[in-house]
Amino acid sequence: MDLHPSQPDVLYQQNHCGVYRSDDAGDTWIDIGDGKLPSRFGFPIAVHPHDPKTVYVALEQSDEYRISVDEKFSVWRSKNGGDSWKRLSKGLPDKARLVVLREAMAVDTLDDAGIYVGTSTGQLFASRDDGDSWALAADFLPPILSVETAVIGS
């Protein structure tokens, strides 16, 4: 789950059975992926640091087939709290069976947010433009279980 400090009542979660949003601090949940995303399965979710309606998820085909949806590694972004989604894949591998584990996605706090995604096969991908384009930041690492960010200096 991810809680955005400027809107403390809004929560997001992604789990084995979908992507959800709560507008009342977790009392009720709205399915924001059913019929809008190509899969209901995945783990990581991240919220833009300055816009709580912008959320990122990485999906897998299913619980049985833990590979990238359509074998095309992508991150999905919603700019409207999950009402609609866009597949982001510019610079990501086109034919790949990559998996992003639960804690392996993070965003930094810069104005154009950097988004970082680590895979279970040791690749780290980075976007410096809110997810519009991606580049391989590191390769041949051990499985990436967690990604964190920090902005140093001013």
Q: What is the CATH number of domain 2-138?
A: 2.130.10.10
For the record, the structure tokens of 86 come out as 């866009």
| Global confidence as pTM | 0.89
| Residue the block writes with tokens 């300055």 | 50
pLDDT 10s digits, 56-110? 999 987 777 777 888 889 999 999 999 999 999 999 998 888 889 989 999 999 9
For the record, the structure tokens of 126 come out as 């980075």
User: Could you write out the three-class secondary structure of 111-138?
Assistant: CCCCEEEECCCCCEEEECCCCCCCEEEE
Output the pLDDT for position 4: 47
Which strand ranges, in their side-by-side order, compose the sheet holding 41-47?
41-47, 55-60, 75-78, 86-88
Interatomic CA distance for residues 45 and 56, integer angstroms: 6
Interatomic CA distance for residues 92 and 133, integer angstroms: 8
Interatomic CA distance for residues 26 and 127, integer angstroms: 30
pLDDT 10s digits, 15-51? 888 999 999 999 999 999 999 999 988 889 999 999 9
| Residue the block writes with tokens 């998820």 | 57
